[in-house]
Amino acid sequence: MSQELEKYLQQALGKLEVLRRKIGETQGYNEEAQLVRMLEELLKEQKPHEDTRHTAHASR
């Protein structure tokens, strides 16, 4: 994975985490929070391989 892409992934994950916390504090676990969690998990699956081939078994 290129360092640049890794930087972008990390940055996006950071932004989503902040947003998730904000939603959690103000609205609880609602639809928006679920969408954010889905995007977070999708991003995490990209991290080990640039080509998105990360097997899901390793992380739950």
Partner 1 sequence: MKILVTQLTRLGDIFQTWPVLRAIQRNHPDAEIYFLIRSRFAAAAEGLEGVHVRVIDFKDILTPLIQVEPAVEGSMNRLRTVLDELVALKFDRVINLTFSPFTAYLCSWLDQKGVGAVQGYSRHLDGTLKFGEDFSKYFYAQGGRDRWSRIHLTRLFAGVAGVDLDAQDWRPPTYIQPGHRSGIALQIAGSEAHKSVGDIVWISIIRELRKFYQGSIVLLGSETEKSVAERIENSLPEGSVVNRVGQTSIKEVFQIIAQSELAIAPDSMGLHVATLTQTPIINLSAKSVNFHETGPLSEVSIILTFAEDSDLSSARVSEAVRAILSGNPAEFKFGWKRRSKFLEGPECYERATSERPDTLETMKDFQWSICEGLYFEGRLEKEAPENFVQALVELFEMNEVVLDCLTRMSEGAAPQKFSAILDRSDEVLQAISQIVPAVGPLVRKVYSDKCSIAPSDLHGIIENTRKAHEVFRDEVNALWSIYNKEEVLEAP
Instruction: State the residues that interact with partner 1 by CB under 8 A.
Output: 5, 8-9, 11-12, 15-16, 19, 29, 32-39, 41-46, 52-53, 55-60
Shortest separation between residue 16's beta carbon and partner 1, angstroms: 7
CB of 17 to partner 1, least distance (A): 11
Give the integer Cα–Cα distance in Å for 59 and 26: 28
**CB 53 to partner 1: min, Å:** 6
